[in-house]
Amino acid sequence: MTLEPFGARLRHAMDTRGPLCVGIDPHASLLTSWGLNDDIAGLERFTRTVVEALADRVAVLKPQSAFFERFGSRGIAVLEKAVEEARAAGALVLMDAKRGDIGSTMGAYAATYLDKDSPLFSDAVTVSPYLGFGSLRPALDAAAVSGAGVFVLALTSNPEGAEVQRATAADGRSLAQLMLDHMAAENEGAAPLGSVGAVVGATLGDAGADLAINGPLLAPGIGAQGATPADLPAVFGDAVGNVVPSVSRGVLRHGPDASGLREAAGRFADEVRRAVSGS
């Protein structure tokens, strides 16, 4: 059975659980800070703790695939279990894989993350459009069939991104704006929210782009990268109500105690609510 469209499910999750995405980023230094070894046992313990602590209360959990892939097939098995258990507990899972390719290869990536029969099926996946927005068509079509979402890189928080994303297209628009306009076209008429989102860094200060895409705006950079929830209105303007701030180290550093993770996530969610509402 096809799921309700991702945009609608995300809107409901944000309204009921709070507008927050927590990353699951088990990099070596974080495992060490938790008193865990940088091995498959440490990876499994870390991941299980985060999922058990947060999956029943945050809107979105975002595992970073690379930190699982580095352990080979055993790491992927941990990732598969985390996706299944997080979704069963009510969290939406956004797979942070940043895939981008063409033709049948992009189709294979789409089948991996956006086909309901795949063991890595997720509610949404991050993708890169800089082989041309049309190269994403297999993922966009697969997501539409399964009720999943796609988050497209637009204006990222890393400084190197500007040399591509701020470059000027033939018609005078920045490449980022060109991609955002494509996303808006994909989301046209969707309610309450489209299922094609953009990744826009919360550290930008001023996005300098039209973010009215009728879709969610994933905003990495809150916490350890320097941005705060109070910065969101300046970056996102009138679109701030569709922002899903993403926090990783700002929450994860409060582990391994589950109560510390829950308290940190709850605090960030409350700060985002206040920033978005202006109260």
d(CA 188, CA 170): 24
151 forms bridges with which residues in the sheet?
126, 197
- For the beta carbon of residue 109, count every other beta carbon within 10 angstroms: 20
Catalytic residue at 98? yes
Distances (CA, A) of 170 to 73, 161, 174, 175, 178: 44, 19, 9, 9, 10
Whether the Cβ atoms of residue 106 and residue 113 lie closer than 8 Å to each other: no
One of 62, 81, 98, 116 is an active-site residue; which one? Answer: 98
Whether the Cβ atoms of residue 148 and residue 127 lie closer than 8 Å to each other: no
Q: What are the two backbone dihedrals, phi and then psi, of residue 232, each rounded to the nearest 5 degrees?
A: -60, -45
Catalytic residue numbers read 98
